Amino acid sequence: MRNVLIIEDNPTMLRALEDNFTAKGFNVSVARDGQTGLNAALGGNADLIILDVMLPKINGFEICSQVRGKKLDTPIIMLTAKDQEQDIVTGLNLGADDYVTKPFSIKQLLARVEALLRRTAQPEPDTYQFGSFKLDVAKQTLTRDGSEVTLSPKEFKVLHLLVKNQGSVMTCDEILRTAFGFAHFIGAKNIDAFVKAIREKIEPDLHKPTFIHTIGDIGYKFEPV
């Protein structure tokens, strides 16, 4: 059974989160203030932390910072105010893995949780092979039959993320958050441009992509060959 630690001081929100995670089969621990939450998080027993930003005693940013400072890689999803974009940027820069803005759908949060746990469930391989291509994560290079294919750093990040999550549909917003940490100078529309540039370098037929498939208006899915 997977263990989730929920650090949230709003009683109504905390009860809703606890009930829904329990219904999904999680073993739920809760903390109603930052100090209690930090102590629980540093215990290292959680498989996932749901972390509110605004907490009594110690805020969510400090908790995230201390958890990462102790070299704990427990996945963290932060709960932030809808109109506070800087909170999102700060949280991601401190090491949070994802965020959900209030008010939010519990179903949306649970979907984010499942996607995050899938991504962090297995150690990442050093290289990925697809078709005649080899993606080297450590060297950040892409080669085709031994010859390097030139990718910009941003193109590499997008391709790496798609390949890493092959078989799963990723929205442009999800690619944006995960690959670039919600950078101000990159928007969801830029992701489309990066994908187009990548396709020009790896697809044998741009009109019938082999590897990167567009999924309606939702996003993209990578399929190895």
> What pLDDT shows up at residue 115?
81
Query: Quick one: which H or E segment has residue 114?
Result: helix 106-121
Reported as a single tens digit per residue, the pLDDT across 49-94 is: 999 999 999 999 999 999 999 888 899 999 987 666 777 788 888 8
Averaged pLDDT for residues 108-124: 81
Determine contact, residues 21/6, Cβ cutoff 8 Å: yes
pLDDT of residue 82: 61
Task: Name the amino acid, one letter, at 89.
Answer: V
Q: How does residue 181 score in pLDDT terms, banded at 50, 70 and 90?
A: low
Distance (Å, whole) CA 69 – CA 173? 28
Position 122 scores a pLDDT of 67
| DSSP tag of 63 | H
Q: Is residue 182 pLDDT above 60, yes or no? A: no
Q: What is the predicted pLDDT for the residue at 119?
A: 74
Query: At residue 196, does pLDDT exceed 70?
Result: yes
| pTM, to two decimals | 0.59
Beta strands in 32-121 (DSSP E): 48-52, 76-81, 98-102
How many Cα neighbours within 13 Å face the side chain of 39? 7
Q: How far apart are CA 12 and CA 14, in angstroms?
A: 5
Strands (E), the chain: 3-7, 27-31, 48-52, 76-81, 98-102, 127-130, 133-136, 141-144, 147-149, 169-171, 212-215, 219-222
Q: What pLDDT was estimated at residue 62?
A: 95
Q: Distance between CA 3 and CA 192 in Å, rounded? A: 36
5-9, 172-176, 218-222: segment of lowest average pLDDT: 172-176
Where in 3-83 does DSSP place strands (E)?
Answer: 3-7, 27-31, 48-52, 76-81
pLDDT surpassing 60 at residue 184? no
Which domains are present in the chain? 3-121 (3.40.50.2300), 127-222 (1.10.10.10)
pLDDT above 70: residue 23: yes
Evaluate if residue 191 carries a pLDDT over 60.
yes
- In the predicted model, what is the mean pLDDT of the chain? 89
Confidence tier at 104 by pLDDT (50, 70, 90): confident
